[in-house]
Each structure stands twice: as C-alpha cells, then as structure tokens.
C-alpha cells in the first residue's frame, strides 16, 4: 500500500492536463518508492535527448537503479476526452527508442483504441488508464455501509473497607471505619482468608455480583483473620490490615451510541488499471493507493 499527497478535485474547473500530469507523477513516485524510483523531471521542461542531439519533451521521466545502469522510464499523460489513437503511440514509441529509454508508458483518461493497443503491444509500450470511477466499477461490490455501534462501558465500583491493624503499641488496636486511599486497580488488591484463599477485590465483587446492575449496593463479610495485601504498595498503611467487611456500590454507565456511514464512492478518487496485465489500483481522496487486483 502506497500513498501520495491530498489530491485536487478532478471535477473542479481548475483541474487540467497539468494537474493530471502532477497526479501521474505522484502516483508513480509513490508506487516505486520502495524500489528506489525517483522522478527525474516532469512537465514542459522535462526533455530527453534523442539521436542527432534532438531534444523531445516527455510528461514524466522516472529513474531507478544505479551502478552500471540507471533505468529510465518515460510517461506520457493524456487528459483527453477521446481515446488515444495509433498516431500518438507511434510518435511516443519513437521517442522512447531514439532516446534509448528502458521503458515507455502512456497514461490516458479515456483509454485507447484497439489499433493503438495492438501497436503498443508490438512496440513494448505500457498502457494505463487513470480515470474517475464509473457506476459499472461498483457492480458486485459493497458501495455503502450504514449502521450503529453500541459501546457498553464497564461498570464502576466504589469500595468501603472496614479494617483493623495494630498501632505503634502491640496492645493498641485502631478500628478504622473509613475508606483507605487505595490508588490503583482493584484487580491488584488481594484479600487473603485464613484458609489460604486469596482473591482480588474485583474477583470478590464479581463472584458476589456476576451481573452488575446500576445502583446495586451490598456488603461482603469476611472471617476472622482475613487480611488485605497490596503487592504494588507494601508501605501503604492498609497493607497487612485485618479486613472485617467490604461495602460495594456499583455504577453502570449508560451505553454510548455511534453512527457509522461509510460511502466508498466518496472515498475512491481515481481508478488506475493496466490495459495489458489487468493490475488495478484504487486511489482514495486522501492519496492512499490500494492494489485491488
């Protein structure tokens, strides 16, 4: 998958042959970037030297490779309202040959006549159609998806722990009927019963209330000797405290709704397809190039 910059509106009054050449330049630069393809030149000032020192203009010239040989490809861009005929194929093939280029490609908005296709095949010229999508392009494809997504948010739990813990003097116990400031996830606080059973706060609550409802409140009582362990905060005053009971309040947030409306027709900016090998790309409105065949 490749991409180019955001693209101008082909239906706009300002879109012309020069925009089309720039689009072709960007598409081929994006497609060949991974292989080291670069744009040597493009536009009116892009010229190649043919036999006898005569310079001929080409619309886009790419190059890649190095070492003993640099591969150069000339691209002719035709934003015509008619199909490209034999005359242009013949003239362009001669430029490619006389300039000793490695390859030539003609890109057309409307396609090519049958004789032009036959001559291009004989001369080794690649033919590509780069055009706006048509209704026929959507046959057998999903054109639009509409629907709603419901996001079910997780419940929120409020915990109140009644605990006791030895104070500074061994004989002194402080009974704390208050909520300790426990910072962190409830699945990291472990309540260990005297029989060795250890489960987190969240596991205790889930077992007591497997289907939480908004506004639910309940109390879980623990046997004597049950203790709270805070593996992530061993210095917290509540770590090691004896837990007598835990009060729980549950809040279930209302679901969130989202509307989905994906119109593929609005997303596909241009369709690019090779006449001879059938390779096809969809070019999106934000410049993404997606191979579809």
Tokens of 220: 């879980």
Cross-strand bridge partners of residue 163:
176, 243
pTM > 0.75: no
For 2-144+263-291, which CATH class? alpha beta
In angstroms, how far is CA 92 from the centroid of its own chain?
A: 39
Tokens of 169: 């003097």
> What is the tens place of the pLDDT at every residue in 155-192?
998 888 899 887 655 444 444 444 444 555 677 789 99
Where in the chain is CATH 3.40.1350.10?
2-144+263-291
User: Which whole-number Å values give the CA distances from 95 to 5, 47, 92, 106, 111, in the listed order?
Assistant: 30, 10, 5, 12, 21
**More confident site: 170 or 51:** 51
> What is the tens place of the pLDDT at every residue in 193-207?
898 889 988 898 889
End-to-end CA distance of the chain: 13
Binning pLDDT at 50, 70 and 90, where does residue 134 land? confident
Give the other-Cβ count within 10 Å of 123's Cβ.
Answer: 15
C-alpha angle 42-76-19 in degrees, rounded to nearest 5? 55
Share of the chain above pLDDT 70, in %: 90
């Amino acid at each position: 998958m490749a991409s180019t910059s955001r693209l101008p509106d082909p239906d706009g009054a300002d879109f012309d042959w020069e925009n089309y050449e720039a689009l072709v330049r960007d598409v081929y630069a994006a497609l060949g970037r991974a292989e080291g393809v670069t744009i040597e030149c493009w536009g009116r000032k892009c010229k190649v030297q043919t036999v006898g020192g005569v310079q001929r203009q080409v619309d886009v010239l790419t190059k890649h490779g190095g070492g003993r040989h640099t591969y150069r490809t000339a691209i002719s861009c035709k934003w015509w309202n008619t199909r490209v005929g034999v005359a242009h194929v013949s003239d362009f093939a001669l430029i490619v040959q006389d300039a000793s280029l490695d390859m030539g490609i003609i890109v057309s908005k409307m396609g090519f006549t049958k004789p032009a296709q036959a001559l291009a095949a004989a001369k080794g010229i690649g033919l590509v159609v780069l055009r706006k999508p048509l209704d026929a392009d959507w046959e057998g494809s999903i054109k639009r998806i509409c629907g709603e997504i419901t996001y079910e948010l997780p419940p929120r739990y409020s915990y109140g722990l009644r605990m006791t813990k030895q104070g500074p003097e061994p004989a002194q116990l402080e009974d704390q009927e208050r909520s300790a400031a426990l910072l962190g996830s409830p699945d990291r606080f472990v309540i260990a019963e005297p029989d060795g059973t250890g489960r987190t706060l969240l596991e205790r609550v889930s077992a007591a209330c497997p289907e939480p409802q908004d506004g639910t409140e309940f109390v879980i009582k623990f046997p004597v000797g049950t203790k709270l362990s805070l593996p992530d905060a061993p210095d917290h005053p509540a770590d090691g405290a004896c837990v007598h009971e835990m009060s729980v309040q549950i809040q279930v947030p209302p679901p969130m709704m989202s509307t989905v409306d994906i119109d593929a027709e609005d997303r596909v900016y241009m369709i690019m397809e090779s006449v001879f090998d059938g390779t096809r790309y969809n070019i999106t409105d934000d410049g993404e190039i997606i191979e579809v065949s």
